[in-house]
A = this chain, B = another copy of it.
């Protein structure tokens, strides 16, 4: 290392590269010819997958950019930060999916069992169609230090858990669920059964031979409902 040369890059006085042969590089700098920027979308999709696969901290912007077929500098252009990229993923990719599930459960005029059925079916179908979603939740919500935890709880989890709990208690008053059931634990069991198969998909597929792809989502949801509705009923 040549010492004492700070090689600062602010001053434009430094002579640029005099001749540059660029013939094999796939894309030259400059605004591209075609329609406007769908590269932003590509970055969001790549980020969603890489974050889900490796976790936020272990994902590198280079890796995401490579998967999106762009340069890392583009993430700075569009999202400024790595954190900004994550926020954008949540806003534009996660939130819409959660909204669908919430809507199914909050449909008015349902008895407790129907509400439970609606939740299980809606969640199972969404998760089967978007396998990256449970993986991302696993990585960034469930894990300690997860970057999305506070945000996710405040925005999605609290409301949903409250609604499920209210339905359980209503069911107990109506006598369709047993009184000895602890409502909070029951909600936890619902969520456990629904979420776990998807976050453990690669494991259950290998060890148990249970597939959780969209064609089997219906059967999976029905199995869960069988266990839950019977398990919550008044014991014989």
**Are the CB atoms of A184 and B161 closer together than 8 Å?**
no
- Shortest CB–CB separation between residue A120 and chain B, in angstroms? 13
Count A interface residues, CB 8 Å: 59
How many copies altogether? 2
Whether A102 is near chain B, meaning CB under 8 Å from some CB there, is: no
Contact B149 A182 (CB under 8 A): no
A90 within 8 A of B: no
B residues less than 8 Å from A71 (CB atoms) = none
Contacts of A12 in B (CB 8 A): none
CA distance A187 to B158 in the complex (A): 29
Decide if A227 is an interface residue (CB 8 Å cutoff).
Answer: yes
Partner of A185, one of B57, B142, B153, B220: B220
Flag if A207 contacts B161 (CB, 8 Å).
Answer: yes
CB of A78 closer than 8 Å to a CB of B: no
**Residue in B143, B149, B223 whose beta carbon sits within 8 Å of that of A139 in the complex:** B143
Among the listed B143, B202, B206, B210, which residue makes an inter-chain contact with A138, where contact means beta carbons less than 8 Å apart?
Answer: B143
Min distance, Cβ A171 to any Cβ of chain B, angstroms: 14
Contacts A58-B58, A142-B203 given; does A210 touch B192 at CB 8 Å:
no
Q: Is the CB of A197 within 8 A of B188?
A: yes
Is A33 an interface position by the 8 A CB rule?
no
Q: Which 3 A-B pairs have the closest CB atoms?
A: A231-B231, A227-B231, A192-B196
Q: Assess whether A66 is interfacial by the CB under 8 Å rule.
A: no
Distance in angstroms between the alpha carbons of A135 and B196 in the assembled complex: 14
Tell me, yes or no, whether A176 is within 8 Å of chain B by CB.
no
| Nearest-Cβ distance from residue A53 to partner chain B, whole angstroms | 5
Residues of B close to A228: CB separation below 8 A: 227, 231
User: A212-236: which residues lie under 8 A (CB-CB) from chain B?
Assistant: 220, 223-224, 226-228, 230-233, 235-236
- Decide: A54 and B145 in contact? CB cutoff 8 A: yes
CB nearest to A185 among chain B residues: B223
**Neighbouring B residues of A182 by C-beta, 8 Å:** 223
In whole angstroms, how far apart are the Cα atoms of A208 and B191 in the complex?
11
A195 to B142, CA, bound (A): 12
Jot down 20 A-B pairs with beta carbons below 8 A, ordered by A.
Answer: A53-B145, A55-B143, A149-B202, A153-B206, A157-B203, A157-B207, A161-B207, A161-B208, A180-B226, A182-B223, A186-B227, A189-B193, A192-B192, A192-B196, A195-B200, A226-B231, A226-B235, A227-B232, A228-B231, A233-B236
